[in-house]
Amino acid sequence: MNIHFISPSDHAGSFPDVEDALEEPNGLLAIGGDLTPARLLNAYVRGIFPWFSEGQPILWWSPNPRLVLYPDQFHISHSLRKTLAHGDFEVRFDTAFADVMRACAKPRKKQAGTWITDEMVLAYRQLHELGYAHSIESWQNGVLVGGLYGIAIGKVFFGESMFAGVTDASKVAFAHLVERLKALDFRLIDCQVATEHLVSFGAREIPRAEFVTQVREWCLIDSIRGKWTGNPVSGPGASGR
């Protein structure tokens, strides 16, 4: 394997070209560095993200192909549309970022551990305080029951993880996220790698080179930075095919 090693003393933008990433495991690009806000932001705008488990060094990835969702191609199923219309959940933005991360960090079925380590939580909480990282939360009777978080740079939203303690809780949060991104004229949602759940929303795989080109262009567009407040301009379900 020919893996690039990054020293914490290296410049925050010191990443190899994504075309140097391994084919197996798909997308592994570099090892090391740190999770400072500057390095994380430099990684995202290059189509790179960190993903590692407790006890491992920081691993940087850029898989090929890349799963993406264009907001105007978001698909709401009939059952989800009914759930949204019923109003079982109150959806909030950026009111419980750390709690969403902790919930996403809990091991899933058939999963021994988590990649959302304490180091990752601290790093993304810093990005949240800087106005880049956001949480979208589903609440029931004052209890957080689902949601997701990710990074917004320019007009691209980089999705990181989601959780659901109640059926459809994360789906409802995701639908509200897409509506918010449409209202803010976002161009792309990075879903990283394919899952049946995301594909059902209309996400599709594109070549890494195409993804990187789009990200570099759309991350340069000015966007409002800071905590998201209030509700989407229009309720999800009114648009979307």
> What is the per-residue pLDDT across 10-68, written as a single tens digit (0 to 9) for each?
999 999 999 999 999 999 999 999 999 999 999 999 999 999 998 899 999 999 999 99
At residue 109, the pLDDT reads 58
At the second CATH level, the architecture of 67-218 is 3-Layer(aba) Sandwich (3.40)
- Confidence grade of residue 224 (pLDDT, cut at 50, 70, 90): confident
Domain boundaries, the chain: 4-63, 67-218
- The residues, ordered by sequence, that sit 6+ positions from 114 with a Cβ below 8 Å of its Cβ are 53, 54, 105, 106, 107
- Work out the average pLDDT over 71-96: 95
Using an 8 Å Cβ cutoff, are 32 and 102 in contact?
Answer: no
102, burial (CB in 10 Å: exposed 0-12, middle 13-18, buried 19+): middle
User: Residue 236 above 70 pLDDT?
Assistant: no
Structure confidence by residue, pLDDT tens digits, 10-26:
999 999 999 999 999 99
Instruction: Judge: domain 4-63, CATH 3.30.70.3550.
Output: yes
Residue closest to 227 by CA, chosen among 119, 100, 136, 101: 136
What does pTM read for this prediction? 0.93
Residue 240 above 50 pLDDT? no
Cα–Cα distance for residue pair 77/206, rounded to 1 Å? 23
User: Among 5-9, 110-114, 146-150, 172-176, whose mean pLDDT is lowest?
Assistant: 110-114
Distance CA 146, CA 168 (A): 8
Residue with more model confidence, 147 or 224:
147
- pLDDT > 90 fraction of the chain, expressed in percent and rounded: 85
- Helices (H) then strands (E): counts for the chain: 7, 11
